[in-house]
Amino acid sequence: MRNLSIFYVLFALLTLSSCGETAKKDQEVVAEEKVSGEETSEENGVILFFGNSLTAGMGLDTEDAFPAIIQEKIDSLGLEYQVVNAGLSGETTAAGKNRISWVLNQDVAIFVLELGANDGLRGVPLEETRKNLQAIIDTVRAKNPETKIILTGMQIPPNMGKEYASGFSNIFPELAKTNDIYLVPFLLKDVGGNPELNQADGIHPTAAGQKILAANVWDILEPIVKNKVESSL
């Protein structure tokens, strides 16, 4: 990856620069409204993005966040899916595990799980992160075994030691294999560490960077949505 050393510095600041508690509470209200079911059509399959500031599109308009860009792709193809962005800045896997139940108050066709980065930066024990992600996956499947699940891979700098960093990055492909779910190998591929694709804080992707994140996810998501449409015909 380009500018890997810069990437390490930027990533180390990710949690510290996340929005404060007041801003996060505001986001929680918005997220709850989005998943309340009032804004979604029962005729459309719901694609739920569940993550942190990367999913929320921190520092950008909602329409510039990668879930909204994916909605545009879906609409351009005439596919009957509605994207719901349930991202919250500063979210950890533990916090995600605690709020997952009320997020799943509607049928979800495809669930995109983007959590873990903040755990790694805080040095959360790897087994705890793994268990929290597994609990989220289990909750989604308990709600609807037919929901397709996509897990987005993440990497962290070796601040906590190379062994920890390596173990952290391995969590995602291992969980994907164990649970037989889909995997985006690395969400920030071609974006992390590139100052031209990150905002002034040097951390969160610009609108151009979010387009690359959308492409990274779309590589995995596109065949899933198309196959589901074809199988329903």
What single-letter amino acid sits at 12? A
Choosing from 18, 89, 169, 204, the catalytic residue is 204
Is the distance from CB of 229 to CB of 79 less than 8 angstroms?
Answer: yes
Active site residue 53: yes
Q: Tell me the two tokens of residue 90.
A: 């500063």
Tally of residues, the chain: 233
Catalytic residue from among 26, 75, 138, 201: 201
Could you tell me where the DSSP H helices lie in the chain?
A: 4-12, 21-34, 53-56, 66-76, 93-103, 117-122, 126-143, 162-179, 207-232
Pairing state of beta strands 182-184 and 148-152?
A: parallel
Which of 18, 53, 89, 169 is labelled catalytic? 53
Please say whether the beta carbons of 46 and 112 come within 8 A: no
Q: Which residues are catalytic?
A: 53, 201, 204
